[in-house]
Each structure stands twice: as structure tokens, then as C-alpha cells.
Amino acid sequence: MTEELARLDRDARRAVGDGDWPAAAEAFAAIAALVPDNPRPWYSLALARLRGGAVLSAGPALRRCLVLAPAHAGAWGLASPVTGKAAHHLRAAVLPDAGTGILRAAAVQRQESGDAATAVELLDRVLAREPGDGECLVNRAMALIELGRKPAALDDLERALRIDPADVRARWARGWLRLGRRDWGGTADYAARWLEPEPDSRQRLFGAPLWDGSALAGRPLLLWGQFGVGDEILFATLVEAAARQAGGPVVLEADKRLAGLLGRSLAGVTVVPRADPPDPRIAAAGPAAQSSTARLPAVLPRDTVLSPRRAPALAADPERVARWRERFAALGPGPHIGVAWRSGNRRTAGRKSIPLGELAPLLRASPGTWISLQYDPDPEETAEVAAARRPVPLDNPAPDIRDDLDELAAQIAALDAVVTISGVTAHMAGALGVPGLVLMQRDPLWFWFEDGETVPWYPSLAVLRQRGTTWTAVIAEAARRVAGG
């Protein structure tokens, strides 16, 4: 059998190299017949059939691969490039008799990959068999939120809470939806997330009781960032208010890339980089209470949270800012405007990102100089747009603005304005008080709210909201404003 497998493997490789997908599929099918419990040949067979245009016949091979390896990212990923009716048929063909455990695992994988629609379809199948599964109801609600189907998501959350009124995930998601509507009555539900922290939460690691917002009589308060760099920047705008309310010293644990920037900006706050084991200054402080910074909107008074800031929350390094102003001036005439158009987050990129070519009306609207603030630029995309005689921004002259966030902050502070999708660049510009336009996807995270052009934490930003499925109207409005209209 070993010799036969080796021969078939050579045949398969030769066929793939020649682009002969029917022959490759034949070889992979023969290999799968010899080793039916190995998911790899089933995956390769499905891939060969898809490449050869045999979409429906790929289904059984995908089904077998996923039965053997339920979380096989490659197998689920094969559905991604297929569109329209073919995608529907492929999804219908995969796992028709799968158990609920496999369907749940596959749904999680698809949602994490940015395919919330398939996640909902898979969870529909679970709930058709187990309608009282509260966890599955919450998972489907999360996927529905990403699809903009918020009334349906709320229905699922209410069903889950009728099954278990103490379900903290369901409460948190319901509070999240209410806060997104500027309904501050959702804070109690939103705060429920931290009543039962995840096993790997910093909250469990530190052990101090949750801060309830009361004065600590001079004893230290520990705060720690959560959910990503953008969230850490946003909720850092509330740290000084928390320090005043606690009435004692504050230690803030933050992403190490933000430690210098936050340490410079937050008066009287000791900022330490997140590390494992934790920075020894945390234990030395002996905190009397702790909180995630993301929880502060539910702990601080409503007026404190929602009052627009009078001064920027962050301060860039002045020497770096001066250096970047000089460099930008040498690149071309003002105004100097930074632009970011694509998200690197696999789960949300499809909803947030804008093809560079579609920004042409915006980039033509200013006589000044556009500078890319993308930390993961796609040279092929830029070259294609330039070849089509459409404008492109100048490449960012810094070597690494993903990991050197102090450098990114200095660049943004040195610019006249920023136009960006939602993400770290938007948070940074808002916290620095730099004028900007945020090109907001149709269903944003709660702190960008569902409507309105302003958010209280970032008074310098105007939020331009996508209402349909295209970006045309948003880009046109941004171009009008950039042109001074």
C-alpha cells in the first residue's frame, strides 16, 4: 500500500503542477479510498474539484474532511471564494448529517473568519434540533449583530435569558445593543460580562475585587486594558476620571505598544506594559480593587462618561511630532492628510474595508498631500490603482507603525487631518484631538453608536455613516468636506 500511495501522490502532484484538476481529483480520490480516516486527501480532493469547476461534487469530500477534522480551517475556507448560487449549493452539501457539536465548532470558525452568514446557517441547524440551547442562541445573536440583524439578535438574547436569566454573555450582548442606541439603561447588562470572567482573563490573574466605583480611601486601583489596541485607547480616555473618583493611586496595565504613550499622557497614573508574569509593580502596589478599562462606562457616572472632552486625552512625543512635520512638508504641499482604508482584522475586514480605487473622488478633492497610514499596505493594490490612472496616497515613510504606536501617534499629531475607516487610526486621531473623518461601516461597535455624527470621547472626529451596502455616498460626502464644501 505504501508504494501505491507514493505513486498516487506523484500522480496528484504532477496533475496539480499541470493544472489538470480532473486528473488531480482522480488521484486524490484514490488516495482517500486507501486512507479514508485521514482528512488531508479529502480536503485536497474537494480543492481539486472546486478548481476544476465541480462545485457540487466537492461537497461530499468537504463533508468527510470536516467529520474527521471539525475545525479544519482550510476546508471551511474553501467556501469563501465561491459566490452566489454556487456558494448556497456548496454550503447545503457540506455536513448534511453533522452532529451539533461539529456544527457549533464550524460556526465558531466561520464567524472568526468573517463569515457570519454561514455561522448563522450552521447555528440555525443546531437550534432546529435543540431549540432550548441558550449558548447557541447567544452565539447566533452575536453573528446576527455582525450582519446588522439586530432585532433578530435581540430576540435570540431574550430567549436565552428566559432559559437562564443569569446568562452573563446574553446580558452583556443585550447591554451592548442598548448602549449602541445611546440607551444608557444598558450599563447593568453590559457590566455583567465581568461577573463571570473567562478562564484566561486578567481579572482572574490579579484576584482583587471588582471596583464598584466607590472611593478607595487612598488605596490603589488597578485598571487593565482589554479587547484590542483601539479599545484600549478609547477607554483610556476615562482613566483619569476613574482616578479622581477612586481617590487614590492608579496602576494601568496596557498593551506594551501603548505604555509609553499612555504613561506620557495620563497624569498621576502609573502605566505598566502587559506581560506574563505581570509587571512586579502591580503586586507591589497592592491594589484594593480592579477593573477592565472597558468596564468603566458602566462604573462611572453617566455624565462623566458622556461629557465631551475639553482637551485631547493623549499627547504625542513633541520631538517626534516636530520631526514628522518637517518630513511631511518635504513630501508636498499642505494640507497634509493621512488616510487609512483597509482593516487587518480578519473577522471585520469585509465590513470595514474600502477598496483603494473607490477613494479616487476623495483623494482628488484636496490640492494637498495624502499620506498612507496603512500599517499593512498591499503593494499590488496600490500598483493596480495607479496603473488605472487613479490617485494613490504616498507610502508611509515610517518603517513600522503597527508596532511603534508612539511613532504612529507622532505622525497623526503632525498631520492637518485624517480620513480613515474605524480602527486604531480613528481612535488615535480622536484621542490626540486631530481633526478627522471616520468612514463608518453600517453596523459599528457600540461605542461608535448607530446614529449621529459625533461621539463624546472624540470631539475632533466627524462620523460619516454607511447606510446601504456601498461606500459611494460616504466617500462623496467626505470628498465634499475635504474640498471645503
Per-residue model confidence as pLDDT tens digits over 343-369: 877 777 778 999 999 999 999 999 999
The stretches of 79-149 forming alpha helices (DSSP H) are 84-93, 100-112, 116-129, 134-146
CATH number of the domain enclosing 254: 3.40.50
Q: Which of 306, 329, 348 is the last residue of a domain?
A: 306
Give residue-wise pLDDT tens across range 78-92.
755 554 555 555 555
Write the DSSP symbol of residue 443: S
Q: Which of 250, 275, 306 is the last residue of a domain?
A: 306
For residues 188 and 211, membership in a common domain is answered with: no
Q: Print the domain residue range for 119.
A: 2-194
Average pLDDT over residues 49-71: 77
- What is the overall mean pLDDT for the chain? 89
For residues 67 and 164, membership in a common domain is answered with: yes
In a domain, 312, yes or no: no
For residues 167 and 207, membership in a common domain is answered with: no
In a domain, 11, yes or no: yes
In a domain, 311, yes or no: no
For residues 232 and 109, membership in a common domain is answered with: no
- For 37-63, give one letter per residue: b (16+ CB within 10 A) or e: eebbbbbbbbbbbbbbeebeebbbbbb
For residues 190 and 206, membership in a common domain is answered with: no
The domain total for the chain is 3
For residues 347 and 420, membership in a common domain is answered with: yes
In a domain, 59, yes or no: yes
Average pLDDT over residues 428-450: 96
Q: Is residue 439 helix, strand or coil? A: strand
For residues 96 and 228, membership in a common domain is answered with: no
Average pLDDT over residues 135-147: 93
The shares of helix, strand and coil residues in the chain, as percent rounded to the nearest 5, are 55, 10, 35
For residues 135 and 13, membership in a common domain is answered with: yes
* Position 37 confidence tier, pLDDT thresholds 50, 70, 90: confident
For residues 222 and 186, membership in a common domain is answered with: no
For residues 176 and 211, membership in a common domain is answered with: no
For residues 181 and 275, membership in a common domain is answered with: no
Give residue-wise pLDDT tens across range 186-202.
999 999 999 988 777 88
Q: Is residue 433 helix, strand or coil? A: coil
- Better pLDDT: 204 or 245: 245
- Better pLDDT: 224 or 11: 224
CATH number of the domain enclosing 473: 3.40.50.2000
Q: Which of 163, 194, 225 is the last residue of a domain?
A: 194
CATH number of the domain enclosing 46: 1.25.40.10
Residue tagged 488516495 (cell numbers): 31
For residues 185 and 272, membership in a common domain is answered with: no
